[in-house]
Amino acid sequence: MDNLLSTELWASLLSALLTIMVLSYLIGDNPLFRFAMHLFIGAASGYAGAIAWHNVLKPGLVDPLLSAGISGITDPSIIASVLIPWGLILILLLKLSPRTARAGALPMAILVGVGAAVVVGGALTGTILPQSQAAMESLSPTAVSPMTGETGPERSISVLIMISGTISTLVYFHFSTRRSPSGEQEPIFLEIAGIGVPSPVVMLRWVGQAFIAITFGVMYAGALSATILILAERVEFLMNTVRLILGTAG
Amino acid sequence: MEVRCPMCAKLNPEGADECEHCGARITPLVIGDEGTSRAEEVGREEEDWLSRIRDQASQEQDQPAGQAEPSEEDWLGRLREASSETPEEEPLSPERHGDYPATDPDEGKEMPEWLARIRAREAEEVEEPSAVQDDDWLENLRGAAPLDDEGPEELAAEDQPSEEEGDMSPETPPPQEMEFPTGEDREAEIPGWLEASEERQPDAPLPAEEESRTPDLFTEEGAEQEPVSAADEPDSQPFIQDSPSWLQEIMEETSEARKRAEREEVEPSRPVSPTDIEGEPEEPEPEPTPHIPALIFDDEEREGSEFDSGEIDLEGAQLPEWLGEVELEERGVEGEEVEEGEGDLAPATLPTWLEAMRPVDTFQSVVEIETEEDESIESVGPLAGLRGVLMAEPVVAKPRTSPIGSMQLSVTERQYAQAELLNRLVAEEQDEVRVRPEMRLQSSLLRWLMAIIMLLGVAVPTLFGTPSYPLPRFEPVELKPMVNLITRLPADRPILMVFDYDPGYSGELDAVAGPLIDQVMRQGISIASLSTRPTGSAMAVRLLGEIGQQYDYVSGEQLIHMGYLSGGPTAVQLLALAPRSAILQGFNLPAGLQAGGSSVWDTPALREVHELSDFGMVAVISAGTDNARMWAEQAAPRMADTPLVMILSAGSEPMIRPYFEAREPQIQGILSGLPAAVAYEQRNNQVGAAHRHWSAFGSGLMVAELALAGGMVYGVVIWFLRRQ
């Protein structure tokens, strides 16, 4: 009896039920699936709101103000860390009304400006420059990869593939080729034994297109394997829940 | 005077027939007269017919009363006036044919047979004057009325459509075939002017072809007639003065040619008369070009007729032969007198049937132009001061109603019905169609089949343990560095684990991150959890608590949950620079800490942590590429020697791997996929979630691979069949 009323059991049952409701999408869009989706979205939103209040707003804007009191309002640290953010929040709330929407542009500008600067700076210093340097690998067989430990021809081949893939992918995204007057996209550059040979840029574009296709294929394969693993875990959970119910009932 | 060769343009002596230089003929050859120059022959031809005209004109003056008197008025002008006047309805009558010169039997002329026949016919038709009521000139001729001495006005009036006929009447009878009167009748009915023309040239030879209707006005015979200068014959002076300018010029030219001929003592040819053709043998001379007057008037009725008053009655006039006139032959052959004031080239008159087709009422042959005094002067605009400027403002700017009445749209019943149908169709398109409930249960058989196969492929190994797939024998290359890295972690420094994934990916990432967490806990290292997602903290609590139970990890001591980090990349950068400013509160802190108002930074594990680099390691568990990249870009540059490790989903690993395999890697460890997790567990000598899911994972992958292969084969076969 206690087992029947245990929280774990009811939680498992509820979870299994929701799992089945979501898996009912196999038969198409149905009310069970919609209910489960609505329930999940609502719960997630509520939970996120609660977390935001307890972890961000209250400890950052409310508790310091309450603890400082009226006399502590003039404290510069309170002013900088509490009052100014409160002011920006109130100004941002003016965007709710169309009449006062223009006044709420200041906090929006701060948010967008700071966010863009951080993202652009991070992309520049964290991705573009380091990755550009990483592409300038040495083709020497004696070199050793620091992380993988590859060396010798294996590493040279890896580097060569990496360089060709980088260049061909960049060429693919460069719109340098134009259509011929007849409408053909790849004009014939040279004819050898009656066979039309396109220009080197066109051929390099084909290679880049192949690399991109392989990359997307690998990403799809990874997503597929992740999905199958998730499905396997859910099926195992359902079976465990059934065993639990049967065990409890038994 | 030298003459120039027409071929080589070189000078040759005067009178030369052939060029001395090239041998081309200078003077064109004239058939029948090789001894005379072409110019002289042409001049002679012109003078002959012109002389006939002058003779006729002079004889008209000598004719008794009743015949046409020379009129000082321009005969052409009279024609024009007659054409502008309303057509008279005078039917053709024998008297009206008095314009035509009638033959005088007393004169004793010999009429050719053909002419006699014509006159005879005309005499017969005169008995039926009623039959000649229409104004068709051809009908008038056919009526065989005697040729009257009518002027050109009558002829013009004859050609104009009568009131009885009506303008543009389709009922206008076509020109009937002319019937020429016989010789005797013809002789009696020849108008005076025609007789006069015949008298003027009594010796004019008849044309060689008796039956020819068209007199040979332009043949060499006519040209050989003695040119008569208009200036030399005083009788023809009034005629010349009344003649049009072009005729006068021709006359002057012929007179000059005649003078030249006289100077050279060229015997002029004898004019041909009609009597010569009939009986008298003539010399084989070229026939003179017969005269073809446009209008032939009768001289008899000239007196007191419209001719004197400036009007020309064209009803009784006969038209030239080329229009079917017969009397012209008589005139041209016998050299009959031509009525004074009448020109050979009278203005052409349209036949009645043609005149009826002309829109006389609307046609204006004369364009009326305003005089300068009548033109208004423009006062505004760039054209101010100019005359004759089109008035734009009163024409364009002035509002005016359209002269055309508004057209009402006439809609038939059928069109109305079609419009209604179209309107109904458009309205039906806007109506929403209710979804049939039974259609929601319909699903494709293939989707059901694939779903069942996939579920069985995953469930069967889990339920029954078979098929069982062997564990991987080769571990990933990056696993060893990862294990070594964790092995070298100091025990007094906590590690930061970031749970940046949704609950939906917990089935995969929990299995992959489990071995790492297990190794860390086995080493007794404190773990601080953090998440940039609101639901990440709960995920961290669940996973760390589940694994920590094995190693007696207590929340708030070895497990510190820092909670939710809001702000995205900006917050991550702030955390990297000043973690205590970024995290103010914890998550799921022990009751003691919460009651004391303490924060996570007051816990023993994080008491010594002031910067991100104070952590022993930062491990980011992420299912998406963006979150992993964000930590690599924002946090890695500010972590100094603290390693950054990524635990990723299999789908995002290709995008993050370059950060790991770079020459200066930003990520010091990477772990992705179930195979890596299984290999990690094997290293740890433990059987965890990865081992439990391995068979189901393998079976599911096998089913997916078989489905992809089967679909590819099906696609190739279909493509091949369609191509064929």
pLDDT in tens, B631-644: 999 998 888 889 99
* A59 interface with B at CB cutoff 8 Å: yes
Confidence of residue B370 (pLDDT cuts 50, 70, 90): low
Q: Do B693 and A222 touch (CB under 8 A)?
A: no
DSSP helix/strand/coil, B593: helix
Best-predicted range by mean pLDDT among A233-237, B294-298, B466-470? A233-237
| Nearest alpha carbon to residue B332 among B664, B52, B40 | B52
pLDDT tier at A31 (50, 70, 90 boundaries)? very high
- Above 50 in pLDDT, residue B15? yes
Give the pLDDT band of residue B168 (cuts 50, 70, 90): very low
With 60 as the cut, is the pLDDT of residue A207 above it?
yes
Using a pLDDT cut of 70, give the percent of chain B over it.
56
pLDDT of residue B181: 47
- Residue B246 to residues B135, B250, B253, B290, Cα–Cα distance (Å): 31, 6, 11, 19
B505 has a chain A CB within 8 A of its CB: yes
Cβ within 8 Å of B, A 149-168: 149
Q: What percent of chain B has pLDDT over 90?
A: 22
Q: Taking a C-beta distance cutoff of 8 angstroms, is the pair B378, B385 a contact? A: yes
Residue B65's SS3 state is strand
For residue B156, name the pLDDT band (cuts at 50, 70, 90).
very low
Q: What is the pTM of this model?
A: 0.55
Query: How many residues are there in chain B?
Result: 724
Q: B56, B60, B82, B84: which is closest to B71 by C-alpha?
A: B60
pLDDT reported for residue B101 = 44
pLDDT at residue number B520: 93
> Helix (H, G, I), strand (E, B), or coil: what is residue B559?
strand
Would an 8 Å CB–CB cutoff place A47 in contact with chain B? yes
Q: How far is Cα B224 from Cα B594, in angstroms, rounded to an integer?
A: 147
Per-residue pLDDT reduced to its tens digit, B239-288: 555 666 777 777 787 777 777 766 655 554 444 444 444 444 555 555 55
Helix axes of B674-684 and B506-522: crossing angle, nearest 10 degrees: 20
CA A108 to chain centre: 24
DSSP-assigned states of every residue in chain A: -HHHH-HHHHHHHHHHHHHHHHHGGGG-S-HHHHHHHHHHHHHHHHHHHHHHIIIIIIIIIIHHHHHHTTGGGG-HHHIIIIIHHHHHHHHHHGGGSSTTGGGGHHHHHHHHHHHHHHHHHHHIIIIIHHHHHHHS----TT-B-TTT--BHHHHHHHHHHHHHHHHHHHHHTS------TTS-SS-EEEEETTEEEE-HHHHHHHHHHHHHHHHHHHHHHHHHHHHHHHHHHHHHHHHHHHHHHHHHH-
Largest CA distance in chain A: 93
B448 touches chain A (CB under 8 A): yes
Task: Tell me: pLDDT of B307 over 90.
Answer: no
Q: What is the 3-state secondary structure (H, E, C) of B450-465?
A: HHHHHHHHHHHHHHHC
Q: How far is CA B413 from the centre of its chain?
A: 36
Question: Of the ranges B404-408, B410-414, B486-490, which one carries the lowest mean pLDDT score?
Answer: B404-408
Q: Residue B167: is its pLDDT beyond 70?
A: no
Min distance B589 CA to chain A CA atoms (Å): 12
Residue B256 exposure: Cα atoms within 13 Å on the Cβ side = 7
**Is residue B149 over pLDDT 60?**
no
**Residue whose C-alpha is closest to residue B318's, from B554, B143, B440, B546:** B143
- Stretch among B4-13, B299-308, B320-329 having the lowest mean pLDDT: B299-308
To the nearest whole Å, the CA of B494 is away from the closest chain A CA by 22
What's the mean pLDDT when you consider all of chain A? 85
Q: Is the pLDDT of residue B105 over 50?
A: no
Please determine, for residue B185, whether its predicted confidence score (pLDDT) is greater than 80: no
- Per residue in B697-715, pLDDT (tens digit) is 999 999 999 999 999 999 9
Least confident span in A42-51, B257-266, B653-662, B664-673? B257-266
Residue B621 sits at φ, ψ, to 5 deg, of -105, 115
pLDDT (0 to 100) of residue B141: 61
SS3 call for B269: strand
B-contacting residues in A 73-112 (Cβ below 8 Å)? none
* Residue B598 CB neighbours (<10 A): 16
Give the pLDDT of residue B573. Answer: 92
Question: What's the mean pLDDT in B405-422?
Answer: 84
Nearest-by-Cβ selection for A52 from B451, B463, B566: B566
Residues A153-196: tens digit of each pLDDT: 888 888 888 888 888 888 888 765 555 555 555 566 777 777 77
d(CA B325, CA B319): 5
Rg (CA), chain A: 30
Average pLDDT, rounded, for chain B: 72
Residue B211: what pLDDT?
A: 44
Cβ contact, residue pair A235, B573, below 8 Å: no
Higher per-residue confidence, B717 vs A139: B717
- pLDDT (0 to 100) of residue A137: 73
pLDDT of residue B542: 92
pLDDT surpasses 90 at B510? yes
Q: Do A56 and B455 touch (CB under 8 A)?
A: no
B174 or A120, which is more confident: A120
- Contact, B114 vs B180, CB < 8 A? yes
The reply to whether residue B651 touches residue A222, judged by beta carbons under 8 angstroms, is yes
pLDDT digits 0-9 by tens, A43-95: 999 999 999 898 888 888 888 888 888 888 888 888 888 889 999 999 999 98
Residue B75 has pLDDT above 80, yes or no: no
Residues paired with residue B495 on neighbouring β-strands, in sequence order: B527, B617
Lowest mean pLDDT among A130-144, B226-240, B484-498, B512-526: B226-240
Q: Does A41 touch chain B if contact means CB atoms closer than 8 Å? A: no
Confidence of residue B99 (pLDDT cuts 50, 70, 90): very low
Q: How far apart are CA B137 and CA B317, in angstroms?
A: 8
The pLDDT of residue B226: 46
Distance in angstroms (rounded) separating the CA atoms of residues B481 and A148: 8
- Cα distances from B701 to residues A229, B457, B693, in angstroms, run 9, 9, 12
Give CA separation, B613 vs A130, B495, B567, B616, B618, in Å. 21, 10, 21, 7, 9
What gap in Å lies between CA A193 and CA A184, rounded to an integer?
A: 21
Measured CA to CA, the distance from residue B620 to residue B617 in angstroms comes to 10
User: Phi and psi (nearest 5°) for B208?
Assistant: -65, -40
Distance CA B187, CA B115 (A): 8
Instruction: Note the Cα A98 to chain centre separation in Å.
Output: 33
**Could you tell me the maximum CA-CA distance found in chain B, to the nearest angstrom?**
168
Residue B535 has pLDDT above 70, yes or no: yes
Say what the pLDDT of residue B329 is.
54
Is residue B497 classed as helix, strand or coil in its secondary structure?
Answer: strand
3-state secondary structure of B72: coil
